[in-house]
Structure 1
Amino acid sequence: MIRLRAHSCAPAPGQLCESPVWDNRTGELRWVDIRGGHIHRAALDRAALDLTHLATVSLAPPVSAVVPCISGSVLAAAGDTFYRIDDDGTAMPIAVIPLPDDGIRRRLNDAKVDPHGRLLAGTMSEEGVQGSAALYRLDPDGALSTLRDGVTISNGLDWSPDGTVLYYVDSPTKRVDAFDYDIATGTFSNGRPFARFDHGEPDGLTVDGEGWVWVAVWGAGQVQAFDPDGQRRAIIDVGPSQVSSCVFAGPDLDVLVITTAAEGKAAGEPHAGRLFVCVPGVVGLQATPYADVGLVRSDGR
């Protein structure tokens, strides 16, 4: 078992930092602070193992996830709506999730792009109402499909290096599930438990080039890594208890960037809400950008 420790980075802490994504084309990291509606950008100093904040774009909160687009824009999940945000800060709504009108407060949560350029994004209720959430797919032309319902807190997701296995988290189940993924159709089947957690709940996750699954464990203050057979192989101690997500960053994709939160009792913990880094000795996978080439701007261009 490998045991490592992460250290905190320079950017100011947020309240609920999430959805870190590295864009190799720009050499920048993006992440969100959900409660503030902020989308942050930072550069990675590989020698110093630190991040330098570059800029922030804000939308009406909550903003739960951000991904790069093929066009050079970014796609953000905010409330019940997906927005494409251009370089000048213009935010164009792309699609709205058809949330049920049953009095339950829901919002979008974690999101990631599949190997074919489609976005998978889930929802959650603010009160954690059991079975009230779902997982959706946003196609390159803006069409929405419901992939799974009866979820409670739709959270981390990523794919095996060959794209044939989807790893997916419904946090209250205290496990990561694996599914056979059909890259051609963007659908999945044959769900089975992949990794279970006795302490804390799995949140965001990322897959490295060898197929290990690195899972942020909310409430445990750790990132835990599992080999493709589901065996726990590494633990990274982060510090703050509310570890929310992680991603491999840097020109060689060898630096694991970890987001944390400062919600509730965790607000008083040292460095809660900061970003952390660690070099675990493995290399990650490049993020696939959302294939927004089929979208049309609201002004017709």
Structure 2
Amino acid sequence: MRAELAVRASAELGEGPTWDTAARRLIWVDILGSRVHTWDPATGRRTVMATEQHVGAAKPRAGGGLVVNLRDGIGLYDAGGAFTWLVRDAVPGRRGNDAAVAPDGALWAGTMRYDESPGGGTLTRVAPDGTAAVLLDDVAVSNGTGWSPDGTRVYYVDSPTRRIDTLRVEGQHIVERREFAAIEPGAGFPDGLTVDADGGVWVALWDGGQVRRYTRDGRLDRTVRLPVPRPTACAFGGPDLRDLYITTARTGQSRPHPLAGSLLVLPDAGHGTAGIPFAG
């Protein structure tokens, strides 16, 4: 299995690939570049939209448009591009990071401090009406979040811990957090993740130059080396959800690899599941 170039780009901090089933396109962001990118693999059509703030994630909305995790909170773009705030929660020195849509249509949005200080970040559930409930208030770099195919298990990454955890949620509270898989020193830090149709967990390893797949029982099943040192996240896409798309970053590298900041793809890597649009 070998990574190929999908879209050549120079994102400072590419993140959050998401397959938009309704529009048949891939969405991803450049956090530090304050850009939302889209790409249709069938036609090659690309769009780039500037945001007024650093943007940690962009996800499709059920009625069209996007929900975005910005520096100062959660915003909405309608199908015509008009912007409104859904949740405004500005904290100096903090920004939005990765986010994911839960099976019930709510957004789970992470934050982190720019200096990545421990305990400076959060994980918050944002309901379609804008009601926000903090699930975790003591994380450093809130990153990958995903659900098992049956929706009963939540996977979560706080990158500096070098772990993928499972969360058990009752109502709007996390009642249990367990280690699912640990990343050994020297292999990089877990970043964004996705869960395939068989329950396998794929995770990008920042500073590890690879993506890994873990089986549903936490066993390392596959390692795919990449031509860049800082992959950030991965997601299945394409009309049959069999291609694994991987975002990458240039930031913090004195001599970035020529493909750093581009969108990569592992063709026919497995089989993903259709994403849920934000219900708000």
Give the TM interval when normalised to the shorter protein: over 0.9
* 1:223-282 alpha-carbon deviations (Å, 9 max, x no partner): 100000000101121211111001000111000000000011265212100000002542
Mapped pair 1:78 → 2:70: yes
Mapped pair 1:209 → 2:201: no
How far apart, CA to CA, are the structure 2 residues paired with 1:133 and 1:35? 17
Work out which of the residue numbers 172, 177, 190 in structure 2 matches 1:191: 177
How far apart, CA to CA, are the structure 2 residues paired with 1:251 and 1:287? 12
In structure 2, do the counterparts of structure 1 residues 266 and 16 end up closer, same or farther at CA, with 3 Å as the change threshold? farther
After TM superposition, the structure 1 stretch with the greater mean CA deviation from structure 2, 151-160 or 74-83, is: 74-83
Pairwise mapping of residues 260-271 of structure 1 onto structure 2 (< 5 A)?
260-265=248-253, 267-271=255-259
Mapped pair 1:32 → 2:29: yes
Mapped pair 1:61 → 2:47: no
C-alpha displacement of 1:168: 0.2
C-alpha displacement of 1:143: 0.8
Q: Partner letter of residue 50 of structure 2? A: S
Q: State the TM-score, normalizing by the size of structure 2.
A: 0.95
In structure 2, do the counterparts of structure 1 residues 110 and 160 end up closer, same or farther at CA, with 3 Å as the change threshold? same
Work out which of the residue numbers 220, 239, 243 in structure 2 matches 1:251: 239
Q: Which runs of 5+ in 1 are unaligned?
A: 46-50, 293-301
How far apart, CA to CA, are the structure 2 residues paired with 1:147 and 1:236? 32
* 1:114-163 alpha-carbon deviations (Å, 9 max, x no partner): 00000001111111111111111100111111111111111100000011
Work out which of the residue numbers 152, 157, 165 in structure 2 matches 1:177: 165
Aligned to 2:5: 8
Aligned to 2:38: 41
Q: Is the 8 A contact 1:131 1:151 kept in 2?
A: yes
* Helix, strand or coil at the partner of 1:268: coil
Percent identical among aligned pairs is 37
Q: Is the 8 A contact 1:7 1:238 kept in 2?
A: no
How far apart, CA to CA, are the structure 2 residues paired with 1:207 and 1:266? 33
**Rg (Cα) greater in structure:** 1
C-alpha displacement of 1:212: 0.1
* Helix, strand or coil at the partner of 1:172: helix
How far apart, CA to CA, are the structure 2 residues paired with 1:145 and 1:98? 16
Q: Partner letter of residue 153 of structure 2? A: V
Pairwise mapping of residues 213-292 of structure 1 onto structure 2 (< 5 A)?
213-265=201-253, 267-292=255-280
How far apart, CA to CA, are the structure 2 residues paired with 1:117 and 1:267? 41
Q: Partner letter of residue 278 of structure 2? A: Y
Mapped pair 1:17 → 2:14: yes
In structure 2, do the counterparts of structure 1 residues 98 and 56 end up closer, same or farther at CA, with 3 Å as the change threshold? closer
How far apart, CA to CA, are the structure 2 residues paired with 1:277 and 1:171? 23
In structure 2, do the counterparts of structure 1 residues 36 and 172 end up closer, same or farther at CA, with 3 Å as the change threshold? same
How far apart, CA to CA, are the structure 1 residues paired with 2:216 and 2:174? 18
Q: State the TM-score, normalizing by the size of structure 1.
A: 0.89
Q: Is the 8 A contact 2:193 2:235 kept in 1?
A: yes
C-alpha displacement of 1:87: 2.5
Aligned to 1:296: none
Moved beyond 4 Å, runs of 4+: none
In structure 2, do the counterparts of structure 1 residues 26 and 148 end up closer, same or farther at CA, with 3 Å as the change threshold? same
Aligned to 1:90: 82
* 1:63-119 alpha-carbon deviations (Å, 9 max, x no partner): 1100111111110111022111122221111111363xxxx6111110001000000
How far apart, CA to CA, are the structure 2 residues paired with 1:119 and 1:81? 12
Equivalent residues, number: 278
After TM superposition, the structure 1 stretch with the greater mean CA deviation from structure 2, 35-44 or 173-182, is: 173-182
Q: Is the 8 A contact 1:74 1:85 kept in 2?
A: yes
In structure 2, do the counterparts of structure 1 residues 225 and 132 end up closer, same or farther at CA, with 3 Å as the change threshold? same
* Helix, strand or coil at the partner of 2:11: coil
Q: Partner letter of residue 19 of structure 1? A: G
How far apart, CA to CA, are the structure 2 residues paired with 1:131 and 1:228? 29
